Amino acid sequence: MLQINYIRENKEDVLARLSKKNFKQLELVDEILDLDQKRRSTQVQLDNVLSQSNTMAKSIGELVKSGRKEEIEKIKETTSLLKEDIKVLGEELSELEQLVHNKLVQLPNLPHSSVPAGATPEENDVVLTNGTIPTLPEGALPHWELATKYDIIDFELGNKITGAGFPVYKGKGAKLQRALINFFLEEAEKEGYFEVQPPIVINEASGFGTGQLPDKEGQMYFVGEDNLYLIPTAEVPVTNLYRDEIVKEEDLPIKNTAYTPCFRREAGSYGAHVRGLNRLHQFDKVEIVQIVHPDKSYETLEQMSTYVQTLLQKLELPYRVLRLCGGDMSFASALTYDMEVYSTAQQRWLEVSSVSNFETFQANRLKLRYKGKEGKPQLAHTLNGSALALPRIVASILENNQTEKGIKIPAALVPYTKFEYID
């Protein structure tokens, strides 16, 4: 959530940066500032009345000592009227504060100065490309056909049990999934991340804290009877571990990693480009989350991007890094790098990771602050990244590594799979 003080003092900058993010409701800024002005005016009135009331209350004590009953009665009458004013002004103030809050939460985060202008994924910047796209044997198959050929993923069985977008992994397909999860977690631990295993359902406060609510309410699965949501990513419960917390500055950075299943309704997604593992309603992912000092967050973002790239290099997958344009960024992000691997059988790039800096946007919602030995608490910066999401990694491994002998497992994974080929 943006800070009202910054909007008040930097209106033109806020409008320009919201426009870069392709935000269409710019009139909200003026509405927020008008309501905030009324709120501040009401606060001044309330403070003045409270001051008068307190002064009169003190004077009654002096008058009692001197026995001036008539004056006491007059002051009590005035005090009674002031109490009524205090009640009315207090209610007005609470209402205005809620109105400001309700409109403020509709504003997305402001993009960093390095974010390119643009409204569509085609306008993202390609930062770098790494690796060699393999040459596949004649008759190479897309992963959904390979899954059937080797009987490792059953899409129809998942459709029978639940519905489309819920595949069943079998045999070496299930072992490949488990191997990737263990590989990603152990690599994260080597990088200094502390593993946690959070709940995979969250309450409304947690969804609000990281920016999923109210922005992505329609994209999450909702358990109505209990007012809970299935998580779209481990970022949500892991970051919310620190909601309403003041951490010590010397404890920064805080680095957590977690494996969870993730659930996304993906309403409106359809077409040939989402076949197989390309887009699922349930999938596995290892997430990395950092809470850092504001002075270190962009340095940390680059480090996290580099770390995710090392995972792709160890998996021997050709990849590229994109800096997302304003219109393709998430609601809460200030700067996002997407990592895409090349699927040779499909002849297209597949997103496998997003690494984002949210600056103070999530921390302000979470009331997540840090405090040094001296000075008042300050908002921390939060970052997160997929390291990595499994479905498209599996799709790319299957497609890019198909040989006449079978599907070759990347060397880094063999200690985890205990087999070198899917055949």
Same-domain status, 287 and 140: yes
What confidence tier does 62 reach under pLDDT thresholds 50, 70, 90? low
* 353 assigned to a ligand binding site: yes
| Residue 112 belongs to a domain | no
* 250 assigned to a ligand binding site: no
pLDDT for 336 equals: 98
- CATH code of the domain containing 97: 1.10.287.40
Please say which residue of 79, 104, 129 terminates a domain. 104
- Is the pLDDT at 280 greater than 90, yes or no? yes
Residue with tokens 């985890």, as numbered in its chain: 416
| Residue 114 belongs to a domain | no
Crossing angle between the packed helical segments 172-190 and 297-314, to the nearest 10 degrees: 140
The C-alpha angle with vertex 79 and arms to 76 and 81, in degrees rounded to 5, equals 115
What confidence tier does 269 reach under pLDDT thresholds 50, 70, 90? low
Give per-residue pLDDT as tens, 246-261.
999 999 999 999 999 9
pLDDT for 182 equals: 98
- Is the pLDDT at 366 greater than 60, yes or no? yes
Give per-residue pLDDT as tens, 385-412.
999 999 999 999 999 999 989 999 999 9
| Residue 151 belongs to a domain | yes
CB atoms within 10 A of CB 421: 15
- Is the pLDDT at 240 greater than 70, yes or no? yes
| Residue 12 belongs to a domain | yes
- Is the pLDDT at 268 greater than 60, yes or no? no
Are the beta carbons of 143 and 167 closer than 8 angstroms? Answer: no
Same-domain status, 45 and 188: no
Give per-residue pLDDT as tens, 114-141.
999 999 999 999 999 999 999 998 889 9
Same-domain status, 135 and 92: no
pLDDT for 86 equals: 93
Percent of the chain with pLDDT over 90: 85
| Residue 364 belongs to a domain | yes
The conformation of residue 402, written as its DSSP 8-state character, comes to B
Please say which residue of 72, 104, 136 terminates a domain. 104
* 352 assigned to a ligand binding site: yes
* 354 assigned to a ligand binding site: yes
* 369 assigned to a ligand binding site: no
- Is the pLDDT at 68 greater than 70, yes or no? no
Same-domain status, 55 and 131: no
* 269 assigned to a ligand binding site: no
- CATH code of the domain containing 177: 3.30.930.10
* 223 assigned to a ligand binding site: no
Structure tokens at 48: 């003045």
Helix runs in 251-369, H state only: 297-314, 361-366
pTM: 0.92
Give per-residue pLDDT as tens, 170-215.
999 999 999 999 999 999 999 999 999 999 999 999 999 999 998 7
CA–CA distance, 390 with 184 (Å, rounded to integer): 10
Domain that holds residue 223: 121-422
Are the beta carbons of 20 and 111 closer than 8 angstroms? Answer: yes
pLDDT for 299 equals: 98
Give per-residue pLDDT as tens, 34-46.
999 999 999 999 9
Same-domain status, 132 and 271: yes
* 105 assigned to a ligand binding site: no
Same-domain status, 94 and 133: no
Same-domain status, 83 and 134: no
pLDDT for 315 equals: 98
What confidence tier does 53 reach under pLDDT thresholds 50, 70, 90? confident
* 64 assigned to a ligand binding site: no
pLDDT for 227 equals: 95
Cα torsion 72, 78, 84, 88: sign: negative
- Is the pLDDT at 63 greater than 80, yes or no? no
pLDDT for 374 equals: 81
Beta strands 348-357 and 335-343: pairing type? antiparallel
| Residue 115 belongs to a domain | no
Same-domain status, 338 and 403: yes
| Residue 110 belongs to a domain | no
Domain count, the chain: 2
* 100 assigned to a ligand binding site: no
Same-domain status, 84 and 212: no
Same-domain status, 327 and 192: yes
| Residue 193 belongs to a domain | yes
DSSP letters of 192-245?
TPEE----SEE-HHHHHHTT-TTTTGGGS-EEGGGTEEE-SSTHHHHHHTTTT-
Residue with tokens 């299957």, as numbered in its chain: 398
Give per-residue pLDDT as tens, 2-42.
999 999 999 999 999 999 999 999 999 999 999 999 999 99
Same-domain status, 39 and 71: yes
pLDDT for 78 equals: 79
Same-domain status, 144 and 222: yes
pLDDT for 72 equals: 63
